[in-house]
Amino acid sequence: GENVEQHPSTLSVQEGDSAVIKCTYSDSASNYFPWYKQELGKRPQLIIDIRSNVGEKKDQRIAVTLNKTAKHFSLHITETQPEDSAVYFCAASRAGISGNTPLVFGKGTRLSVIA
Amino acid sequence: EADIYQTPRYLVIGTGKKITLECSQTMGHDKMYWYQQDPGMELHLIHYSYGVNSTEKGDLSSESTVSRIRTEHFPLTLESARPSHTSQYLCASSGVGGPRSFYEQYFGPGTRLTVT
């Protein structure tokens, strides 16, 4: 089955700096890669996702890149703000007409943005 | 408004009791999931369902059972609660019929369970 590794487990950055979180996956058939943000005491919420037919996707200060050959994908947050402080989870799954598997999550990265 | 609901939000119960955690969604989704998560820690998949009368065990079945008799309802039952079951339980849904992307998995607010 799928295995997702996420690094680092904790990350501290100064406000305004960039943050990068990296994940690797094992199943070459995985084709959907979401990132979730979980603030303290709240439910995980999707912040960005990418499908395997795309190499990069951006949404304002957040971007995700995917390297299918190397089986890794990364989350990039630019101009970090204190409200970006949270736990971030990457995940991978097979999704679509050819079949579906549940999301397999990484163990999470606790991001702290220091003002 | 389309959403996913969990009850109770908080529960304190004694060892050996049988409990059912409720999850309902008005998203119109066909797929539903249960996760166990200690605050801010790893998400462990307990059970999932891809439709009515379809249930599968995840990586961490945790001596619990689920049923899916109606599309919108996916309750989780612990037959005999133990202190090791103390955790947060998150329900989620995704898939065909929802207002969001086919792929997006949407989480409920969670039930915080304490077994004494």
Q: What is the pLDDT of residues A4-60, one digit of tens each?
A: 999 999 999 999 999 999 999 999 999 999 999 999 999 999 999 999 888 999 999
Distance from CA of B16 to the nearest CA of A (A): 27
Indicate the average pLDDT of chain A.
95
- Pull the structure tokens for residue A7: 């690094």
Looking at B1-116, which runs of residues are DSSP E strands?
4-7, 10-13, 19-25, 31-37, 44-51, 54-57, 64-66, 76-78, 87-94, 106-107, 111-115
The DSSP code for A16 is T
The reported pLDDT for the residue numbered A97 is 66
The reported pLDDT for the residue numbered B2 is 82
Instruction: State what percent of residues in chain A have pLDDT above 70.
Output: 97
What residues of A are in the B interface, CB distance below 8 Å? 32, 34, 38, 40-46, 49, 51, 87, 89, 95, 100, 102-103, 105, 107-108, 110
Q: What is the pLDDT of residues B51-78, one digit of tens each?
A: 999 999 998 866 899 999 999 999 999 9
- Which contiguous run of DSSP H or E holds residue B102? none
The reported pLDDT for the residue numbered B59 is 84
Q: Which of A42, A45, A95 sits opposite B103 (nearest CB)?
A: A95
Indicate the average pLDDT of chain B.
92
Please say if the pLDDT value at position B48 is more than 80.
yes
Cβ contact, residue pair B42, A102, below 8 Å: no
- pLDDT band at residue B101 under the 50/70/90 scheme: low
In chain B, % helix, strand, coil (3-state, to 5) comes to 5, 50, 50
- Spatial strand order of the sheet with A4-7 comes to A4-7, A19-25, A72-77, A62-67, A56-59
Residue for token digits 């971030």? A88
Q: Is B84 helix (H, G, I), strand (E, B) or coil?
A: helix
* Nearest residue to A32 (alpha-carbon basis) of A49, A44, A47, A56: A49
